[in-house]
Amino acid sequence: MTKNGKPTKRQVILEEAAKLFKDKGYVGTSMRDIAGQVGMEAASMYNHIKSKDEILDSICFRISDIYIAQLQEVEELPLSFGEKIRVLIRLHIQLMVEDGPDVSVANHDYKYLPTSRLTEFTEARRRYEKGFAALIAAGVAAGEFQAVNPTVALYTILSAVRWVELWFKPGRSLSAQELEDHIITMLLNGLEKR
């Protein structure tokens, strides 16, 4: 947002692009499609963005920067490992609910980044996953968690949180808060009674 609260043309383009990329994919969306949603001709958009690639780049790295920052904050909180994992799951779901199309693009269309940026993006995600897995491993070592394989637990959590992007719509019977609670219960306590 600008100081007067009105989004810039560039922000509108990025936002409409993310919605279209989510629905039709990066390659399946044309600059003309985006322009149609924004309300200008495709050629005019080049006064606000450099290329189609750059739109994708902005979306993907904005999201990955948020993830990295969130992980760092949680790592420094004085909480048990179980509580840290809970916070991270909540943050994942909240980001998805608030920024659905962008998260979706960063999850699926990142692979269309040009080679050097793709490498950067993949490394950022690897760092994030490594930090997350370390929290799980530490929880296992501390006796808080069951003797799970940290990698399996990590990807199970990260994936289990992804379906929210396909499913959650604000007017649903479940609120975002209830959704968080249910997913956390399922992942931390499991399906079966013991």
Shortest distance, CB of residue 39 to DNA, whole angstroms? 7
Residue whose CB is less far from DNA, 30 or 175 = 30
Residues that bind DNA (CB under 7 A): 9, 29-33, 40-44, 46-48, 51-53
Per-residue tokens: 173: 């019977």
AA identity, residue 49: I
Contact present, 45 and 13 (Cβ < 8 Å): yes
CB of 90 to a copy of itself, least distance (A): 15
How far apart, in whole angstroms, are the C-alpha atoms of residue 115 and residue 119?
6
The type of residue at 151 is: T
Smaller CB distance to DNA: residue 53 or 181? 53
**Residue 7 Cα distances to 3, 12, 65, 90, 101, angstroms:** 9, 7, 21, 28, 17
Using rule CB under 8 A, residue 149 touches a copy of itself: yes
User: Which one among 117, 122, 162, 176 touches a copy of itself, defined by CB under 8 A?
Assistant: 162
DSSP string, 13-45: HHHHHHHHHHHH-TTT--HHHHHHHHTS-HHHH
Select from DNA, a copy of itself, none the partner in contact with residue 159, using the beta carbon and a kind-dependent cut-off of 5 to 8 Å.
a copy of itself
Q: Which of 7, 28, 39, 114 binds a copy of itself (CB under 8 A)?
A: 28
Choose among DNA, a copy of itself, none what residue 185 binds, the Cβ cut-off being 5 to 8 Å by kind: a copy of itself
Is residue 194 part of the contact set for a copy of itself (CB under 8 A)?
Answer: yes
Q: Which helix (H) or strand (E) holds 171?
A: none
* From the list a copy of itself, DNA, none, partner contacted by residue 176 (C-beta under 5 to 8 A by kind): none
Exposed/middle/buried for 162, CB within 10 Å: 0-12, 13-18, 19+?
Answer: middle
Residues found in the chain: 194
Which residues of the chain form contacts with a copy of itself (CB under 8 A)?
23-25, 27-28, 82, 85, 108, 111-112, 136, 139, 143-146, 148-149, 152-153, 155-163, 167, 174, 179, 182-183, 185-194
